[in-house]
Amino acid sequence: MFCEKCGTKNENDARFCEKCGNKLSNNKNELMEKFSKLPKKTKMIMGSVILIVILAIIILIILLSNPLKRVSDNLDYYYANYKENDVKELRVVAEILNNNKNDQEVLGKIEKISEDKINGWVKNFNTNYKNKEVLANSYQRIKSILKAIYEYYDGSNYILNYEDYQNHLETLSELYSSKINYLYGSVEKDEYSKYAYFERVIEQDSYYKEARDYIASYVKEELEDFLTKYDDILEADEKVINEELLDDYLEQLKYLEENKIINNVDLSSTEEYQKTYEDTVNKIVEALKVIVAQDEENLDYNQAYDLVKSVKKVIKDEDKNAELEKLESSLEKKLPDNLVDKYVVEYHNSYDSSYGVNIKDNQYESYIQFSFNKDGGYRIYRLNKYYSKFRAKIVVGDNWPGDFKGEIVITSGSKELFRSKEITKESNFMADIDIDITDVDDMKIEFVTTNDGGLNGYYLYIVEPYLYK
């Protein structure tokens, strides 16, 4: 130690200066003496404080040297204080990547940090702006930040690769457009224009709920008017299932399809529309089944088959359409055969055709035609005991001159199967044929007349002659 008076160096444990004799003070010993005299509690507090300070210094050193913390801090600082061409924070991150290029665990964590950071920037960039100009500036700023990062690291897998960069640009564009449309819509006075702007607010935007709530209210009014007009279409009594009711249901379905977009509002996306559409399709199919069952009971398979085919064309529901296809296939197997397609054993003064005929403004698909000659006419068809029922209709042709009398008689061998009432010009005759032909081999249809001639060119018809198994 040195003498405080003359500056001479003395031994560490000397009490007086060897040159001038001045009393030397031992600071260390004095401090130790003073410390030893302190209360025990005070000593413990001082020790704890010193320990905390030492630990804090150690932690700070560790944190400052932690590559993950340094990457996170530098990216945050770069984003918050972005200046064009100022890349010192990016350079620090690049050095950290280089220093840890052989440590895949550290690199993986850095990749996760950068991914989370950039995702957060993109997702939240437009949430705090209520001014279109400021929002546009923010949009350009973050695009510039991403571009600078991507180009600086040249698409590095650990900071911002090409695919992620492009995805972020697309998301930014969507969010920017979404917020711009929200800002325009929020000040728009015209209800439809407001609706149109809010329609463009995308779901992932923070303002989506507010826009959706307005749209739901706007659509609700349009939907109520739409459904009122839909209900007005139904005129038939729903308790009576017939073709009139089915036609009303089909008109309702047509209305739904033709008016699903009203005033540029897509009503088909609403639950109410979808439920109404589904209920209408269900009502059509159920009514059709009832009508088909009635037709089958009356052996009107052709009518039932044609009805199912026509309804199937307008039903777009895949499940219901498949159900109708099965019904159509079932009816197709039950369709009757046309008598005019069968083998004619013998005929006289008669003709048949499947090309159709119009009689008194009614169109018939097939027919047997008898001429008015005094000896009448007939046709014999070979059935081979294959059918159980024959059905047809007797129709008198147009504009008959003169007087005549006649009958239609159907026989099998010597057995008479059917005889019509007497047909005259004044009777305006039309009659149904519905007879059992079980075990009939050859069936003869004859027009018996007492006419004495002079009516050539005028005819009696058997129309829609069908055979049922």
CA-CA distance, 153 to 163, in Å (whole number)? 14
**Cβ–Cβ < 8 Å for 460, 408:** yes
Q: What is the mean pLDDT of the chain?
A: 85
- How does residue 62 score in pLDDT terms, banded at 50, 70 and 90? very low
pLDDT in the model for residue 25? 63
Question: Half-sphere exposure of 420 toward its Cβ, with a 13 Å CA cutoff?
Answer: 29
User: Taking residues 168-182, what's their average pLDDT?
Assistant: 91
Indicate if the pLDDT at residue 12 is higher than 90. Answer: no
CA-CA distance, 201 to 329, in Å (whole number)? 49
Q: Which of 20-34, 121-135, 171-185 has the lowest mean pLDDT?
A: 20-34
Q: Is 421 helix (H, G, I), strand (E, B) or coil?
A: coil
pLDDT tens digit string along 401-426? 566 678 999 999 999 999 998 887 66
Q: Is 467 helix (H, G, I), strand (E, B) or coil?
A: strand
Domain boundaries, the chain: 65-187, 227-334, 338-468
- Residue 256 has a CB neighbour count (10 Å cut-off) of 20
User: Taking residues 147-156, what's their average pLDDT?
Assistant: 89
266 or 274, which is more confident? 274
- How does residue 30 score in pLDDT terms, banded at 50, 70 and 90? low
Burial 63-98 (b: 16+ CB within 10 A, else e): eeeebeebbbbbbeebbeeeeeeebebbebbbebbe
118 or 40, which is more confident? 118
pLDDT in the model for residue 455? 54
User: Computed from CA positions of residues 328, 334, 338, 343, in that sequence, does the dihedral angle turn out positive or negative?
Assistant: positive
pLDDT in the model for residue 265? 79
Question: Angle formed by the axes of helices 104-124 and 132-153, to 10°?
Answer: 160
CATH architecture of 338-468: Sandwich (2.60)
pLDDT tens digit string along 282-320? 999 999 999 999 999 888 898 999 999 999 999 988 899
Supply the DSSP string of 412-426, one letter for each residue: ETTEEEEEPPPEETT
- In this prediction the pTM is 0.52
